[in-house]
Amino acid sequence: MSIVRGGSIAAFAAAVVLTLAACSDSGTSSQSAATKALVLYASHPTAMVDHYVKAFEQAYPGVKVELITGGTGDLLGRVKAEKDRPRGDVLWGGSSTTGGSAPEFFVKYDSPALKDIAKELQDPTGYNAPFDAFAMVIVYNKDLVPEAEAPKSWADLGDPRWKGKVRFANPASSSSSYAALVNWKLIGDWAMVERLAKNMIIDESSSAPFTAVAQGEAPVGVAYEEGAYRVQKTGKVNIVYPSDGVVVLPGGLFLIKGGPNAVNAKKFADFVLSTPQQQALVDNFPGRRPASTAVKFPAGMPSVSQLKVLAYPTDEAKAQQKEWLAKWKEIMIATR
Amino acid sequence: MTARGSTPLRIDFWNVVTLAALAVFVLFLVYPLSRLLISSMTGEGGGGSAVLRTYVEFFTRRYYYETLIHSLAVSAIATVLATLLGAPLAYCVARFDIPGKLLVRAVIVLTFVSPPFIGAYAWILLIGRNGVITGWLAALGFELPPVYGVNGIVLVFTLQALPFVFLLVSAGLRTVDQSIEDAAINLGRRPASAALTVLAPLIAPSLATGALLVFVTSLSDFGTPMIIGENYRMLASQIYTEFVNEHGGNPAVASALSLILLVVTVGALLWQRAWVRRHSHGQETVRPLAPRALSPLARAGATAYVYAVVLAASLPLATIVVSSFLKGKGPLITSEFTLQGYANAIRLPSALYNTVMLSTVSTVLCVAAGALVGYVVVRRRGRLVAMIDTFSMVPYAVAGVVMGIAIAIAYGGAPFHLGGTVAILVIVYFIRRLPYSIRSVAGMLGQIGPQAEEASVNLGVPPGRTFLRVTVPMVMPALVSGALLTFATIAREFNSTVILYSGSTRTLPVEVFAQVLQGDFATASVVGTVLIAVSLVPIVLLFRFLQKDESVLV
């Protein structure tokens, strides 16, 4: 029906070869190939994620970011479930323990941008690209809790008068909540954890506690630092840095092993660690502690030297995560 | 058309369809549920003796078995309340001259198509600790009991289940003959007493079906307790939490809890069917119940009752639509008008596209398969057909979260690797809605004799072509209304979607839920309003252009 000439056969053959090459490339050794997408698993609040996605797409016009959001634990679960066929490139959220708890699913990355990142935030095992740092704090609603009666320390939250009034995200699905759990354990071991657990209402999203406090739906909540500052802007919320000590954790950003767009994943890590983007973090998202030492430290936020900082037992918290979460669940079972 | 018990199966069109239908149920229903059962018995470190370990754990630890007690109690209370509120509502609308009946019906249909759990966060906005109405009442010196916990769950379940009771009781009342009521009144009954002692038993089967739907829907809804329950934990929400936290790990606990929920819902279905068999009355309806005139006072009372209930049921929807046009200030909603919310919801377009695309694809598959299988169920005989008939009952009683987890275990990982794809969502929507399509086609075909088809086959037209040229045109009305209804229900499907979606297949209900969990009620309202509109379009088409009324919904 159609006349096939030699030239078009050659062109067709060339196209087939190219297509096959492209397929095998993206299928096996994507490290070397520049792809047009980046699949980002992010558990951070949408406003900040959207900001960086937009900025990244502007900086790299050929790359389209496909965003998948959820709780950190949920997203880590996805990474694990997809280990035979990874679909994501970057897991962004939680803390350094998030990916550290499952190093077999991620690749090490020694970003050139790490030179300006604070030494104490850098991951000695080389997996995490620390984008920021955060402490866990207490927030309370000013209309519901007079300042004099507000909790001053973690231990205060164990007081029976807060029973059923403290909102806390499930540490099994939120890595920042897990950091809080470790924080309490450092102060008073499991007895302390149990005393606090009795008073908690458990949420399934780490934004839920401080949001409920800001909305006046709950008097007190446990929050990650940035969330606390975000809702402080409503004028309804006060932030308490507990006097019995806080932990300061590097935020988590991990490159997923075997992800389809490995080159773009590295570009993304370099991008968010770069000095201009670290400065953008300080300028646009109050409450975020920048990881870079090359930017201006945000005003209105206590620096680590002004706080009672407890050394975070990174290795132990990673190694024991499964046991400690099981223990937390035992406590939940016993106190519900 | 006759039973061919012992003769070997011949390869003809309908035998192929029968086998294919059976294969569909085995692949997408029997296989996933079997995998669920196996998964529930293969907990970590489980040897031969530990097969039932998760079950033993469930029934010996209060933390777990309490969720079952809570679920049963709350669902039972919601069922009773919804029946007590909904049955009189249907009776008043059917029998009395209530002004604005069309509006009342429209509002009830609207609440019927709205997604589950949407009421939960709307009621927090209204009567939460810092709710709008809470504020007004506080200014007047009244204090409301907290909406969180069991109160709120019962409130939401009752109101979102009202339409089931209303629609089924309305349908039941249409089958009652006026002569029965006349006879009771002639024998000295007052009309109210006749309604309770004579009409109520006659519509008992409809009431029982409505109650079953309320009960099963309440047992299956986990969004509501997660949003409004605070520490009041229920079985379905426990399943979701266990599954999400162990996703990729070991879903033994989630599987075991799912099976327990499955046993409860299937048990409720079987019990209800047995009860209906004993209590149904064969009736000929020659003259349907006529509207009854009321004294002005009684009419005012009935009108007030109808409007009070309908207002309560529709308040959450109104709240969502209104708050979608209000400016958000961080997590707070102000009273300033804005359209900015619609522009800011950046995942709205893709969620809208996914919802429409998935609903369309699944609807087309459901309706096509439903027509073929519906034909088989009505026109063919034999053991295989009986099996298909039984299988097609099962999805009614499988909660969305249970079906979602079963499909995730069966098809998410090796060897199919469908996790996160469009295909896995289409599978779950297809198997969940197929029974409804089968039933609507079977219902219509059952009323049409096989003569036209037989004539066509006798004239030499092959069975497949006969089906397309003769049968399909005859059941077209059922196909079209079934398709619109299927679309509306798939668009709002949440319980199974949230288990199986991925970033690229996120739908509107999932987006609403994610925003509510994050506490961004302003964006949740924007997405929720779009979702309400999407589910409403097919219903409007159905009513306006196919001249249907709400009776097609049940």
Tell me the sheet residues that pair with A65. Answer: A38
In the structure, what pLDDT confidence band is assigned to residue A7 with cuts at 50, 70 and 90?
Answer: very low
User: Do residue B186 and residue B271 come from a single domain?
Assistant: yes
Chain B CB contacts of A212 under 8 Å are: 519
Q: Is the pLDDT of residue B295 over 60?
A: yes
User: Do residue B479 and residue B374 come from a single domain?
Assistant: yes
Q: Is A1 within a domain?
A: no
**Residue B450: other Cβ atoms inside 10 A:** 13
Chain A CB contacts of B332 under 8 Å are: 214-215, 234, 236
Arithmetic mean of pLDDT, B336-352: 87
Arithmetic mean of pLDDT, A63-92: 86
Q: Is B211 within a domain?
A: yes
Chain-chain contact of A81 with B419 (C-beta, under 8 angstroms): yes
User: Do residue B25 and residue B97 come from a single domain?
Assistant: no
pLDDT for position B45: 47
pLDDT for position A77: 81
Q: Is A165 within a domain?
A: yes
User: Do residue A67 and residue A111 come from a single domain?
Assistant: yes
Q: Is B90 within a domain?
A: yes
Q: Is the pLDDT of residue A1 over 80?
A: no
Q: Is the pLDDT of residue B549 over 80?
A: no
Residues 6+ apart with CB under 8 A from B350: B506
- Give pLDDT tens digits for A234-247: 999 999 999 999 99
Arithmetic mean of pLDDT, B28-45: 87
User: Do residue A185 and residue A60 come from a single domain?
Assistant: no
- Give pLDDT tens digits for B81-98: 999 999 999 999 999 999
Chain-chain contact of B246 with A77 (C-beta, under 8 angstroms): yes
Angstroms from B108 CA to nearest CA on chain A? 30
Chain-chain contact of B129 with A218 (C-beta, under 8 angstroms): yes
Q: Is B439 within a domain?
A: yes
More confident residue, B244 or A23: B244
User: Do residue B191 and residue B331 come from a single domain?
Assistant: no
User: Do residue A34 and residue A69 come from a single domain?
Assistant: yes
Answer whether A278's CB lies under 8 Å from A292's CB: yes
Chain-chain contact of A50 with B346 (C-beta, under 8 angstroms): yes
Residue that is last in its domain, among B265, B280, B295:
B280
pLDDT for position B309: 95
Answer whether B442's CB lies under 8 Å from B370's CB: no
The full length of chain B comes to 554
pLDDT for position A16: 45
Q: Is the pLDDT of residue B532 over 70?
A: yes
The DSSP element (H or E) to which B548 belongs, if any, is none
Q: Is B309 within a domain?
A: no
Is residue A180 classed as helix, strand or coil in its secondary structure? helix
- Give pLDDT tens digits for A191-224: 999 999 999 999 988 889 999 999 999 999 999 9
Chain-chain contact of A69 with B514 (C-beta, under 8 angstroms): yes
Q: Phi-psi bin for A249: left (phi > 0), alpha (psi -120 to 50), beta?
A: beta
- ∠ CA B84-B98-B123 to the nearest 5 degrees? 50
Chain-chain contact of B248 with A80 (C-beta, under 8 angstroms): yes
What is the 3-state secondary structure of B169-201?
A: HHHHHHCCEHHHHHHHHHCCCCHHHHHHHHHHH
Q: Is the pLDDT of residue A25 over 50?
A: no
pLDDT, averaged across chain A: 86
User: Do residue A15 and residue A122 come from a single domain?
Assistant: yes
User: Do residue B68 and residue B26 come from a single domain?
Assistant: no
pLDDT for position B554: 63
User: Do residue A200 and residue A282 come from a single domain?
Assistant: no
Which residue in A50, A172, A216 is closest to B245 by CB distance?
A172
Chain A CB contacts of B331 under 8 Å are: 211, 214-215, 231, 234
Beta strand ranges found along B307-408 (DSSP E): 326-329, 332-337
pLDDT for position B249: 61
- Give pLDDT tens digits for B156-180: 999 998 988 999 999 889 888 888 8
Question: A49: nearest CA in chain B?
Answer: B346
Amino acid, res. A23 = C
User: Do residue A321 and residue A195 come from a single domain?
Assistant: yes
Q: Is B207 within a domain?
A: yes
Which residue in B226, B233, B519 is closest to A207 by CB distance?
B519
Residue (of A123, A103, A125, A113) closest to A269 by Cα position = A113
Q: Is B40 within a domain?
A: no
What does DSSP assign to residue A309?
Answer: B
User: Do residue B29 and residue B69 come from a single domain?
Assistant: no
Question: A164: nearest CA in chain B?
Answer: B231
Please state the domain count of chain B: 2
Q: Give the sign of the dihedral formed by CA B527, CA B403, CA B233, CA B115.
A: positive
User: Do residue A191 and residue A278 come from a single domain?
Assistant: no
Most confident region among B31-35, B164-168, B381-385 by mean pLDDT = B31-35
For A181, half-sphere exposure in the C-beta direction (CA atoms, 13 angstrom radius) is 31
Arithmetic mean of pLDDT, A303-317: 87
Angstroms from A207 CA to nearest CA on chain B? 5
Chain B CB contacts of A41 under 8 Å are: 503
User: Do residue B355 and residue B223 come from a single domain?
Assistant: no
For B512, half-sphere exposure in the C-beta direction (CA atoms, 13 angstrom radius) is 33
pLDDT for position B46: 44
Angstroms from B127 CA to nearest CA on chain A? 10
Arithmetic mean of pLDDT, A122-131: 90
- Give pLDDT tens digits for A258-291: 999 999 999 999 999 999 999 999 999 889 999 9
Chain A CB contacts of B417 under 8 Å are: 84-85
Chain A CB contacts of B330 under 8 Å are: 214, 230-231, 233-234
Chain-chain contact of B63 with A332 (C-beta, under 8 angstroms): yes
Q: Is B160 within a domain?
A: yes
Domain of residue A262, CATH code:
3.40.190.10
Q: Is A92 within a domain?
A: yes
User: Do residue A162 and residue A275 come from a single domain?
Assistant: no
pLDDT for position A20: 43
User: Do residue A231 and residue A321 come from a single domain?
Assistant: yes
What is the 3-state secondary structure of B269-296?
A: HHHHHHHHHHHCCCCCCCCECCCCCCCH
User: Do residue B272 and residue B414 come from a single domain?
Assistant: no
- ∠ CA A101-A104-A105 to the nearest 5 degrees? 90
User: Do residue A78 and residue A220 come from a single domain?
Assistant: no
pLDDT for position A33: 63
User: Do residue B239 and residue B342 come from a single domain?
Assistant: no
Arithmetic mean of pLDDT, B252-269: 93
ipTM of model: 0.77
Which residue in B128, B248, B521 is closest to A77 by CB distance?
B248
Q: What share of chain A has pLDDT > 70, as a percent?
A: 90
| φ, ψ at B294 (rounded to 5°) | -125, 155
Helical H segments across B408-450, by residue range? 422-446
Arithmetic mean of pLDDT, B324-333: 85
- ∠ CA B133-B139-B140 to the nearest 5 degrees? 95
Arithmetic mean of pLDDT, B239-248: 79
In the structure, what pLDDT confidence band is assigned to residue B10 with cuts at 50, 70 and 90?
Answer: low
Domain of residue B482, CATH code:
1.10.3720.10
Residue that is last in its domain, among B247, B280, B313:
B280
Q: Is B168 within a domain?
A: yes
Please state the domain count of chain A: 2
Which residue in A211, A233, A236 is closest to B518 by CB distance?
A211
User: Do residue B335 and residue B482 come from a single domain?
Assistant: yes
Q: Is the pLDDT of residue A114 over 80?
A: yes
pLDDT, averaged across chain B: 89
User: Do residue A254 and residue A123 come from a single domain?
Assistant: yes
More confident residue, B281 or B5: B281
Angstroms from B247 CA to nearest CA on chain A? 5
Q: Is the pLDDT of residue A255 over 90?
A: yes
Interface test with B, best of A66, A202, A211, A229 (most B CBs within 10 A): A211
Chain-chain contact of A80 with B246 (C-beta, under 8 angstroms): no
Q: Is the pLDDT of residue A56 over 50?
A: yes
Q: Tell me the whole-structure pTM to 2 decimals.
A: 0.83
Angstroms from B163 CA to nearest CA on chain A? 30
Arithmetic mean of pLDDT, B141-149: 90
Separation of alpha carbons B413 and B419, rounded Å: 6
In the structure, what pLDDT confidence band is assigned to residue A24 with cuts at 50, 70 and 90?
Answer: very low
Which residue in A68, A77, A230 is closest to B330 by CB distance?
A230
Question: B413: nearest CA in chain A?
Answer: A81
Chain A / chain B CB contacts < 8 angstroms: 124
Q: Where in the sequence is the domain holding B132, given as residue range(s)?
A: 61-280
User: Do residue A175 and residue A314 come from a single domain?
Assistant: yes
Q: Where in the sequence is the domain holding A58, given as residue range(s)?
A: 7-132+250-301
User: Do residue B271 and residue B232 come from a single domain?
Assistant: yes
Angstroms from A37 CA to nearest CA on chain B? 13
Question: B227: nearest CA in chain A?
Answer: A203
User: Do residue B391 and residue B536 come from a single domain?
Assistant: yes
Is residue A248 classed as helix, strand or coil in its secondary structure? strand
